[in-house]
Amino acid sequence: MTDRPIDPTTQARLGAVSTATLATVLFKRGLRNQFVQGARRLGAGKRPNMVGRAFTLRYIPAREDLDVLEGYRDPEHPQRKAIESVPPGQILVIDCRGDPRAASAGGILMTRLHVRGCAGVVTDGGLRDVEEIGGLAMPAYCAGPSAPTTLTRHHAVDMQLPIGCGEVAVFPGDVLVGDGDGVIVVPQEIADEVAAEAAEQESLETFVLEQVAGGSALPGTYPPNDDTRARYAAWRAKRED
Amino acid sequence: MTDRPIDPTTQARLGAVSTATLATVLFKRGLRNQFVQGARRLGAGKRPNMVGRAFTLRYIPAREDLDVLEGYRDPEHPQRKAIESVPPGQILVIDCRGDPRAASAGGILMTRLHVRGCAGVVTDGGLRDVEEIGGLAMPAYCAGPSAPTTLTRHHAVDMQLPIGCGEVAVFPGDVLVGDGDGVIVVPQEIADEVAAEAAEQESLETFVLEQVAGGSALPGTYPPNDDTRARYAAWRAKRED
Amino acid sequence: MTDRPIDPTTQARLGAVSTATLATVLFKRGLRNQFVQGARRLGAGKRPNMVGRAFTLRYIPAREDLDVLEGYRDPEHPQRKAIESVPPGQILVIDCRGDPRAASAGGILMTRLHVRGCAGVVTDGGLRDVEEIGGLAMPAYCAGPSAPTTLTRHHAVDMQLPIGCGEVAVFPGDVLVGDGDGVIVVPQEIADEVAAEAAEQESLETFVLEQVAGGSALPGTYPPNDDTRARYAAWRAKRED
Amino acid sequence: MTDRPIDPTTQARLGAVSTATLATVLFKRGLRNQFVQGARRLGAGKRPNMVGRAFTLRYIPAREDLDVLEGYRDPEHPQRKAIESVPPGQILVIDCRGDPRAASAGGILMTRLHVRGCAGVVTDGGLRDVEEIGGLAMPAYCAGPSAPTTLTRHHAVDMQLPIGCGEVAVFPGDVLVGDGDGVIVVPQEIADEVAAEAAEQESLETFVLEQVAGGSALPGTYPPNDDTRARYAAWRAKRED
Amino acid sequence: MTDRPIDPTTQARLGAVSTATLATVLFKRGLRNQFVQGARRLGAGKRPNMVGRAFTLRYIPAREDLDVLEGYRDPEHPQRKAIESVPPGQILVIDCRGDPRAASAGGILMTRLHVRGCAGVVTDGGLRDVEEIGGLAMPAYCAGPSAPTTLTRHHAVDMQLPIGCGEVAVFPGDVLVGDGDGVIVVPQEIADEVAAEAAEQESLETFVLEQVAGGSALPGTYPPNDDTRARYAAWRAKRED
Amino acid sequence: MTDRPIDPTTQARLGAVSTATLATVLFKRGLRNQFVQGARRLGAGKRPNMVGRAFTLRYIPAREDLDVLEGYRDPEHPQRKAIESVPPGQILVIDCRGDPRAASAGGILMTRLHVRGCAGVVTDGGLRDVEEIGGLAMPAYCAGPSAPTTLTRHHAVDMQLPIGCGEVAVFPGDVLVGDGDGVIVVPQEIADEVAAEAAEQESLETFVLEQVAGGSALPGTYPPNDDTRARYAAWRAKRED
């Protein structure tokens, strides 16, 4: 598990590429299952990318005798402790086994995370108070709005262990990126190289999109042949001036 | 089945609390399954809460020989009769067995309900003409847009019987509340006491949210310890001046 | 398979009726399953109807040794070839077997279709770069945003064969109409008569909606009895002056 | 609702035809949705067909304060009352909204039904004590074994109303037939004519199957052309001697 | 976590009661969600109950670079280590997040568990070699047969932590009981009292079933009134002679 | 597409290995998705493996005006034509888009295939007359019993094109193997080498299973270390004598 900050160049690159481009770069490395299925961003409008390391929280199914409101009085309650433990700049990722029928958390806890400098929240369960959460600057991704308290379906057990979220393996320290399409998980060991390749790819795709918007046909343009690559090199050199 | 108007204080309180708070208050009473799963509000933007008693309409699967357009000419057709029967201020709740593949109703019927003073519509099936319906002042919650006519999948059988909607039991006269998270069903027998407790809880949570937004950590604040409770009492006294 | 342009009157009529009305007209002809289940339009705000003939593209499940990025270099790759083949004014319809876990296509391909004069895109799979696609004038309907590359789950095999999309049969040349509720498939053989009847029905429903908004009860109004029909005839005669 | 016994000829015919043949006969009448989806027969081995009128029992989702074991002490409890009310020769059909996560009933209740002369049980929910029930002579169809008590998920509300079961409309008095494929619902109004036509069809199919088993190709045999029909007439005449 | 052997009386009682009875006894204590949904026993024929403490193994979604066959060479691989660690008489319970599309394990590993004296295996994923496993004396419950290797979808991470299995919370040391209906999880803290009460209840139900099989109506018999209880007491006294 | 007979050695090997072993051998080649999800074999008891090339048949969703019983009179109807076209020794594979709610085919068609020497049938839809089909020597795999006629949900369009079945790509000529776990698809290009490697692996696993049944622990045995491999070589040499 890596706890050190993301390399600033990597952080900047990941803030400027799409999850689609990252998915393709990961696919080239044989990683086909890194996109968190079913998690949508709350709130309307275009927003900057969410980028940060994963801080994990794990829920199992609730048991009625254990999951009672009084449990929250204990500061060691794993949900509450996790929220107070996420380091600034990291992303709280919650394993709800894909069950959207209860909230993973609500407006007060999301506000606390925001105040603490958390870079975002990702859950494959629901969230409550979604209008309030959608108004926070901190991005939040979930399977949908859901008013029932977490205890209705979930028992928080531990934090900072490997989990599944949206059918993807998430290890503490993995680098998550979120945009309008959703959230992708970049294994921490390859985050720097993936970011570098994705930035290259994104630059090329910007050029390609310009060509296509201007009327170029796909063959030779996307993927680019030698001629297109040469024109891209010129375009890029000019932009970097 | 209760048909008398909701107590005005209860009505006012339920208009001012969130479904999340209501879910927690019901959870404390052992009621864990009162949130209508999968029903989302049509139309964008923040809106006042939907509050009203449930008026129920029940659909079973369609049978091709019975479910033909000519049936609507009969004023006793259960769907049409229900729409003409919902008392003002009540909410039409439709049991579609969670099937989103056809409309429960469309723009004309929703407009009729609106004109008749209906407080809202909740269905675990689809609705057609969703852009039109989303523009009405009357709130409507459904499983998604769906153009096919009701007859395609549903046979309206009766009204004002207990039904299921979104996996929740709904008895005629139960009190429904809807906000941006969705719809919750408050059993009519406990609506007044639940509203009172929820109003208390909502007030406390407003205070807690202010504290958290201002930097308070969760332990001692949420749930509140004695000190926080004392500060809340002072805050509240001041507000009530 | 019909490749000739849609009759201009039919085209105009289909641009002015709702998919709900079309669903009812098709239902009267015994066609109960023409609505593409689960496909939602990307982008916010009211938009003109999508109308055009179906140009089909078929995907089967991916096989890892066949579905590699290098395949896109071949101009005969069925996905790329289909995009370069859709005639202007037609709609690309993609059979993804209802699997939303990967993109059917992304921003560059959608832009190419837009530049080529394609009237829209419909898929029962995902799309990537949804914010970008939602900003195009060309409408796009899909099962949801999904960043993973098409190759992750799909192998493009052929085009212009009959397919399934959203649990509906789509034959090349069928006429598709899309609005805020979703997309409906009108068999090409009956497109003209369906459009004519739907235009009639839509006109009647506009009148009925006015009556209902003005306070008319459903019985006698919807469906209309002889008196309402007579008043409708007068209303219509006046509008057509 | 018809409560009179099934016509003895119809009863005999339905005991001798398959649900597959009945499905085809109903399909010819435009009834495409009469097969109870997902209900399998408990117990191994070949058995005679289940045939009988439907006696319906309706469940809605449970509510924790209402659905307690003490409720069973009331002889008017709808589940217990239904079991004591099914007339001999009829079939108890239970609407569980397709939820297999709790039992509709268990061994004791099934035994009581068997002793009372009930012709079978059909539910789209679970059953508990399935090994015991599978050993009864009375056939039982369900969505699967499930140990949790009915009260866990279901609230019994009423009996002898139209219901849905396995996505099919079931009206009290409809005629149900069950075999190794499952259960089909024959609307009571057409039970006699459907039985007659199905008996004809089954006889023809027995002949066709002999031909096919003996090496005949499908064209001309299935469906039969004039020549095959003539040979069938001879075959049948001989058998009826 | 309790690792000591189950009390012999409790073990004997749990071997003689049904999961249905246990579900009811747990329901009376407010525990409504202890039945492992969707896990069926492999192999045909009636068998003794499976009884034992849970030894847990947790899988998260696979990652292609980590989940390779070579990993099994490491004796510390969590799947292999778990299989070598389950104490005799305990039950291996595997959390596969309800995904039946790959095997949790296969014939060789099941045979090893059997040889080691394991009391059974429960998984909410698939198993491979099901005919072979169904022939072992050791019971195995799974979501269905599935040939793909575990690595295809699962990454084994750790053992003896609380997990979810079939939507139920399972803590190491909990007592599991399996019969023909499936598997139920009895929290370890209450296993003795639950077993005692279940044995009482089972004895009563045996008597009730005899009465019902002999023609008694449900009212007064099930649940039993005072008279039935008195006759039960006599019946039981006689049997215990 | 390969139409030549499977190599006899390959055929023999595939008849003697499990689908589990084949899945592992394919996994080693990077093919993770070759198992037909959800298709179970009809009929009880142990049977020889099903082995043969795929002959494909494709269904799309039904359209009521096209899918009528009269269509079967046409010998060119794709379903009937496919059944008369499968070469002896090949397997009919039907793409039903995973929809189990209607039959892919029934007893008469299955009998015709059996008489024609077809090696088996695989569908991700239903089958009707399952007791009859389960009694044939020809193996049949489906998603479950379903009485409704094919036309209810399916429109047969073409044969011998690549299809999806149970979420797997199937190309005409691919080699399918079925056992008690289900069906696996071996790409035709690698069938010989996969069979050879699987035979080796199966032999090794037979030895390993003997060791494990005899008490060997997993480490060093499975996977085998050098010592175990040496003992295996001796064991095998002796068996091959």
DSSP letters, chain E, are: ---SPPPHHHHHHHHHS-HHHHHHHHHHTT----B-TT-EE-SSS--PPEEEEEEEEEEEE--TTT--GGGGGSTT-HHHHHHHHPPTT-EEEEE-TT--SSBS--HHHHHHHHHTT--EEEESSBBSSHHHHHTSSS-EEES-B--S-GGGTEEEEEESS-EEETTEEE-TT-EEEEETTEEEEE-GGGHHHHHHHHHHHHHHHHHHHHHHHTT--STTBTTB-HHHHHHHHHHHHHHH-
What average pLDDT does the segment B122-136 reach? 97
CA dihedral F138, F142, F145, F146 (to 10 degrees): -110
Whether E3 shows a pLDDT value over 80: the answer reads: no
Whether B1 shows a pLDDT value over 60: the answer reads: no
> CB-based contacts of B38: which residues, under 8 Å, 6+ apart?
B98, B124, B143, B166
Query: What percentage of residues in chain A have a pLDDT greater than 90?
Result: 96
Interatomic CA distance for residues F139 and F52, integer angstroms: 11
A181 and C130 within 8 Å at the Cβ level: the answer is yes
Among all residues of chain D, which has the CA nearest to that of E23? D148
Interatomic CA distance for residues D161 and D58, integer angstroms: 8
CA dihedral A229, A231, A233, A237 (to 10 degrees): -170
Least Cα separation, residue B146 to chain A (angstroms): 19
Among all residues of chain B, which has the CA nearest to that of D185? B63
Number of H helices, E strands in chain F: 7, 10
Instruction: Quick: pLDDT tens for E62-116.
Output: 999 999 999 999 999 999 999 999 999 999 999 999 999 999 999 999 999 999 9
Among all residues of chain D, which has the CA nearest to that of E166? D101
For chain D positions 207-226, those within 8 Å of chain E (CB to CB) are none
What mean pLDDT, rounded, does chain C reach? 97
Query: What percentage of residues in chain E have a pLDDT greater than 70?
Result: 99
What average pLDDT does the segment B89-118 reach? 98
Q: Which two tokens stand for residue C88?
A: 């202007």
Q: How confident is the model at residue A1 (pLDDT cuts 50, 70, 90)?
A: low
Least Cα separation, residue D215 to chain F (angstroms): 6
For residue F240, what pLDDT is reported? 78
DSSP code of residue A18: -
Among all residues of chain E, which has the CA nearest to that of A164? E60
Quote the strand ranges of F72-208, DSSP E. 91-95, 120-123, 140-142, 154-159, 163-165, 168-170, 175-179, 182-186
The interface pTM score, or ipTM, of the predicted complex is: 0.96
Neighbouring subunits of E (3+ Cβ pairs under 8 A): A, D, F
Residues of chain A with Cβ-Cβ distance to B19 below 8 Å are: 128, 147
Neighbouring subunits of F (3+ Cβ pairs under 8 A): C, D, E
Number of Cβ within a 10 Å radius of residue B137: 8
Instruction: Quick: pLDDT tens for D103-118.
Output: 999 999 999 999 999 9
Q: How confident is the model at residue B135 (pLDDT cuts 50, 70, 90)?
A: very high
Q: Does F46 touch chain E (CB under 8 A)?
A: yes
Whether D159 shows a pLDDT value over 90: the answer reads: yes
For residue C2, what pLDDT is reported? 67
Whether E1 shows a pLDDT value over 70: the answer reads: no
pTM beyond 0.95: the answer is yes
Number of Cβ within a 10 Å radius of residue A30: 11
For residue E45, what pLDDT is reported? 85
What mean pLDDT, rounded, does chain D reach? 97
Using DSSP, state whether A92 is helix, strand or coil: strand
Using DSSP, state whether A200 is helix, strand or coil: helix
What average pLDDT does the segment A68-78 reach? 95
Residues of chain F with Cβ-Cβ distance to E69 below 8 Å are: 24, 27-28, 223
Among all residues of chain E, which has the CA nearest to that of D130? E181
Instruction: Quick: pLDDT tens for C65-85.
Output: 999 999 999 999 999 999 999
Cis, peptide link before residue B223, omega less than 30° from 0? yes
Least Cα separation, residue A163 to chain E (angstroms): 6
Tell me whether residue B120 is exposed, middle or buried, using C-beta atoms within 10 angstroms of its C-beta: 0 to 12, 13 to 18, 19 or more: buried
Q: Does A31 touch chain E (CB under 8 A)?
A: yes
D147 and E22 within 8 Å at the Cβ level: the answer is yes
Whether D215 shows a pLDDT value over 90: the answer reads: yes
Among all residues of chain F, which has the CA nearest to that of E105? F20
Interatomic CA distance for residues B121 and B36, integer angstroms: 12
What average pLDDT does the segment C36-62 reach? 96
Is there a contact between F146 and D181 (Cβ–Cβ < 8 Å)?
Answer: yes
F130 and D181 within 8 Å at the Cβ level: the answer is yes
Is there a contact between C104 and C126 (Cβ–Cβ < 8 Å)?
Answer: yes
DSSP code of residue F209: H
Residues in chain E: 241
Instruction: Quick: pLDDT tens for E114-144.
Output: 999 999 999 999 999 999 999 999 999 999 9
Instruction: Quick: pLDDT tens for F35-55.
Output: 999 999 999 888 999 999 999
Of the partner residues C72, C146, C148, the one whose CB lies closest to the CB of residue A223: C72
Among all residues of chain E, which has the CA nearest to that of D79? E218
Residues of chain C with Cβ-Cβ distance to F162 below 8 Å are: 60, 155, 157
D223 and F151 within 8 Å at the Cβ level: the answer is no
Using DSSP, state whether F220 is helix, strand or coil: coil
Of the partner residues D131, D144, D147, the one whose CB lies closest to the CB of residue E46: D131
Of the partner residues C22, C28, C208, the one whose CB lies closest to the CB of residue B108: C208
Using DSSP, state whether C186 is helix, strand or coil: strand
Using DSSP, state whether D64 is helix, strand or coil: coil
Q: Does B29 touch chain D (CB under 8 A)?
A: yes
Q: How confident is the model at residue E241 (pLDDT cuts 50, 70, 90)?
A: confident
For residue C55, what pLDDT is reported? 98
A63 and E162 within 8 Å at the Cβ level: the answer is no
With CA atoms as reference, report the closest residue to A151 among A76, A56, A82, A66.
Answer: A66
For chain B positions 102-121, those within 8 Å of chain C (CB to CB) are 103, 106-109, 111-112, 115
Amino acid letter, residue B216 = S
Q: Does B61 touch chain C (CB under 8 A)?
A: no
Using DSSP, state whether D34 is helix, strand or coil: coil
Least Cα separation, residue B219 to chain A (angstroms): 6
Q: How confident is the model at residue B2 (pLDDT cuts 50, 70, 90)?
A: low
Instruction: Quick: pLDDT tens for F116-170.
Output: 999 999 999 999 999 999 999 999 999 999 999 999 999 999 999 999 999 999 9
Whether F1 shows a pLDDT value over 60: the answer reads: no
Of the partner residues B31, B61, B157, the one whose CB lies closest to the CB of residue D64: B31
Instruction: Quick: pLDDT tens for C171-228.
Output: 999 999 999 999 999 999 999 999 999 999 999 999 999 999 999 999 999 999 999 9
Quote the strand ranges of chain B, DSSP E. 40-41, 50-61, 91-95, 120-123, 140-142, 154-159, 163-165, 168-170, 175-179, 182-186
For residue F44, what pLDDT is reported? 86
Among all residues of chain B, which has the CA nearest to that of C206? B108
F148 and D23 within 8 Å at the Cβ level: the answer is yes
F164 and C60 within 8 Å at the Cβ level: the answer is yes
Is there a contact between B198 and B25 (Cβ–Cβ < 8 Å)?
Answer: yes
For residue B239, what pLDDT is reported? 86
Tell me whether residue D28 is exposed, middle or buried, using C-beta atoms within 10 angstroms of its C-beta: 0 to 12, 13 to 18, 19 or more: middle
What sign does the CA torsion over F230, F235, F236, F237 have? positive
With CA atoms as reference, report the closest residue to B37 among C82, A146, E105, C154.
Answer: A146
Number of H helices, E strands in chain D: 7, 10
Q: Does B73 touch chain D (CB under 8 A)?
A: no
C169 and F30 within 8 Å at the Cβ level: the answer is no
Q: Classify C38 in phi/psi space as left (phi over 0), alpha (psi -120 to 50) or beta.
A: left
Q: Which residues sit opposite E155 in a β-bridge?
A: E60
Instruction: Quick: pLDDT tens for B8-29.
Output: 999 999 999 999 999 999 999 9
For residue C190, what pLDDT is reported? 98
> CB-based contacts of F154: which residues, under 8 Å, 6+ apart?
F59, F60, F61, F62, F67, F96, F99, F102, F104, F125
Among all residues of chain F, which has the CA nearest to that of C34? F63
Least Cα separation, residue D53 to chain B (angstroms): 18
Residue with tokens 């909740």: B122
E219 and D84 within 8 Å at the Cβ level: the answer is yes
Q: Does B1 touch chain D (CB under 8 A)?
A: no
For residue D1, what pLDDT is reported? 57
Among all residues of chain D, which has the CA nearest to that of E40? D145
User: What's the alpha-carbon Rg for chain E, to the nearest Å?
Assistant: 20
D19 and F147 within 8 Å at the Cβ level: the answer is yes
Q: Does C66 touch chain A (CB under 8 A)?
A: no
Residues of chain E with Cβ-Cβ distance to F181 below 8 Å are: 128-131, 145-147
For residue C18, what pLDDT is reported? 98
With CA atoms as reference, report the closest residue to D58 among D93, D109, D105, D85.
Answer: D93
Q: Does A168 touch chain E (CB under 8 A)?
A: yes
D84 and E217 within 8 Å at the Cβ level: the answer is yes
Using DSSP, state whether F106 is helix, strand or coil: coil
Instruction: Quick: pLDDT tens for A142-178.
Output: 999 999 999 999 999 999 999 999 999 999 999 999 9
Per-residue 3-state assignment (H helix, E strand, C coil) for C7-74 = CHHHHHHHHHCCHHHHHHHHHHCCCCCCECCCCEECCCCCCCCEEEEEEEEEEEECCCCCCCHHHHHC
With CA atoms as reference, report the closest residue to D122 among D76, D83, D176.
Answer: D176
For residue D90, what pLDDT is reported? 98
Amino acid letter, residue B30 = G
Instruction: Quick: pLDDT tens for F158-205.
Output: 999 999 999 999 999 999 999 999 999 999 999 999 999 999 999 999
Q: Does B44 touch chain C (CB under 8 A)?
A: yes
For residue A44, what pLDDT is reported? 86
Phi, psi of D184 (to 5 degrees): -125, 145
Whether C19 shows a pLDDT value over 90: the answer reads: yes
What average pLDDT does the segment E220-231 reach? 96
E18 and D128 within 8 Å at the Cβ level: the answer is yes
Least Cα separation, residue E107 to chain D (angstroms): 25
B129 and C37 within 8 Å at the Cβ level: the answer is no
Interatomic CA distance for residues B177 and B171, integer angstroms: 14
Q: Does D62 touch chain B (CB under 8 A)?
A: yes
Mutate to test the interface with C, among B57, B92, B110, B128 (most CBs of C within 10 A): B128
Is there a contact between E7 and E186 (Cβ–Cβ < 8 Å)?
Answer: no
Of the partner residues D83, D84, D147, the one whose CB lies closest to the CB of residue E23: D147
Phi, psi of A21 (to 5 degrees): -65, -40
Q: Does D8 touch chain B (CB under 8 A)?
A: no
Instruction: Quick: pLDDT tens for F14-42.
Output: 999 999 999 999 999 999 999 999 999 99
E107-115 helix and E78-85 helix, angle to the nearest 10 degrees: 30
